[in-house]
Amino acid sequence: MRPHGPGQVKELAGKVALVTGGAVRVGLEIARALADAGADVAVGYRRSAAEARGAVRELEARGVRAAALRADVARPREARALVAGAVRRLGRLDILVNNAALFVRTPVLTTTPAQFDRLLAVNLRAPFFVSQAAARAMGRRGGRIINIADVGAVRAWAGYVPYGISKAGVVMLTRGLAVALAPRIQVNAVAPGVVLLPEGFPRQSGRRLAARIPMGRHGRPADVAEAVRFFATCSDYITGQVLFVDGGMSAL
């Protein structure tokens, strides 16, 4: 990630970002990247209260303002309250990163309606309603919405069909919002490949998985965060795009 030392320009100084699921894992790395670019950051979380408080302390130590806001973004009322809370605590909203998601194995023959509905609610419905609230909050000033999709949007995984459906939906959500919210709001997506393996994932299986990636390694949270930072700072003529950060998996 590009460091910012004394005297260097911070592209996002004076801006406010909201990162859903920003307290842990990739979401926290995204929050760090935006803070390093000068943005004040609201960290959305559902269950990771202690981690969110720690994230706020870390971000404030980087010289920006930060706030931790709890919400179940799968509930439209809480999604709206999350955006309102970010504006109330930090004064405005310029950048939304829809990062919160569920990744759950759901074999086709045993997936329940409740499992299917929860995956779609968190991974697809939530980004829509958080984006709706964010677009209203951004107003005439405009802003940026960055969705976190997944290589699973274009590569089918037998044990994760509902998840793949949800992330394919995020890709179309990105394109639809880009058209609907133009020209004042730019909407793009980052689609990671294998970045962080689940806890307890067999080491040997992880090595086999890495061997199938053209770049020969798993991704790092910083790889995703750098792509998010690009969309947060790039030309406003870039919208409706999906950037795969997958080591070449989507090209196979």
For 7, left (φ over 0), alpha (ψ -120 to 50), or beta?
left
φ, ψ (nearest 5 deg) of residue 75: -100, 115
CA distance 157 to 211: 17
Of 45, 160, 163, 237, the active-site residue reads 163
> How many of the other CB atoms lie within 10 Å of CB of 61?
10
Beta bridge partners of 6: none
User: Is 163 assigned a catalytic role?
Assistant: yes
CA triplet 217, 218, 222: central angle to 5 degrees? 115
CA triplet 79, 174, 92: central angle to 5 degrees? 45
CA distance 245 to 252: 14
Question: In 3-state terms, what secondary structure has residue 37?
Answer: coil
Quick one: tokens of 234?
């790039």
CA distance 187 to 170: 11
Return the active site residues: 163
